[in-house]
Structure 1
């Protein structure tokens, strides 16, 4: 009996931990026509470093993101130079958040429980008068996004676009430097 209780408690703890954290989704797209194997140097596309941000983004956060991106490319072995025209590639980024709404509608049986009998399909057809209703839930959340772009200096073509999105809880609206570094490293890791 103790093993069953322990198993149930362990499963609940794992489930609660999974529900409590919103995973960061990271992805990228690369231009296959441009060879990046000879890249050695990079520069920022423009002096402000950021290409665009949504209103309300904290300038301290912008500075932290800029520094994290720069350090992530340096950690991959690329050298930062000040003149974009002399670099192999240039980088820029966008950052922002968007309020979103998610609506889910689930069928609910008319009778108190879930079953396959008369209450589920109804007496007068597939979804008859005594059949199914629906239960609707509405959730509002904020989705944060960071996108990093790489451009080839010689061809002036986009080379790579990496991004991370995450549902932000109210506690995560202002990220710490460690959280920013972690997300940036994960995005830049896919650049080759």
Structure 2
């Protein structure tokens, strides 16, 4: 393979991997004993809509989350009704964020081109004997989480739990609506 072509392909793979690391991780758990195929209507489980609001919840953001979740279920073809007792299923959600710290420690030669830098193989050879040091990086970030729960009204049982976690960037914090809608749609699309 041509070295330039190999370099371009490698660069694309690295770029794609770097972009994917900040995407939301979405997953779900389902109660397989309750059939959801005939569901047509939904309601909020409680008037508050959110199950357990954090103490410092932004009321404007809460309204955005409420509306985004409603619209995502409506877009899937379900009809919103006012009374939970008249619905096929009821929904609720929780949100939160957590500050995290990530510490990485690498051999000093790691950042000098796949180990081919000074000190490779313990520093023996042309440069003589050297001790191999390490480089440590510490990054602090905030991880947000959204979880949506679905309950069967007739059986009064939990049916489905979907969630997403995402490392929040400064752009996510400044303009949260687009990111929020994208994540809610990804979570709700897992529900069947």
**TM-score normalised to structure 2 length:** 0.79
Gaps of 5+ in 2: 110-116
1:19 aligns with 2:18: yes
CA 1:117 to 1:164, structure 2 compared with 1: closer, same or farther past 3 Å?
closer
1:116 aligns with 2:115: no
Shift, 1:10, TM fit: 7.9
Equivalent residue number for residue 170 of structure 1: 170
> What do you get for the CA RMSD once the two structures are aligned?
2.8
CA 1:56 to 1:175, structure 2 compared with 1: closer, same or farther past 3 Å?
farther
CA 1:68 to 1:143, structure 2 compared with 1: closer, same or farther past 3 Å?
same
Gaps of 5+ in 1: 121-129
Q: How many residues align?
A: 179
**TM-score normalised to structure 1 length:** 0.79
1:159 aligns with 2:154: no
Q: Matches of residues 75-86 of structure 1 in structure 2 within 5 Å?
A: 75-86=75-86
Distance 2:8 2:85 in 1: 60
Shift, 1:76, TM fit: 1.2
Equivalent residue number for residue 123 of structure 1: none
Distance 1:117 1:180 in 2: 48
Shift, 1:135, TM fit: 2.5
Shift, 1:63, TM fit: 0.6
Runs of 4+ in 1 over 6 A off after TM superposition: none
Equivalent residue number for residue 91 of structure 1: 91
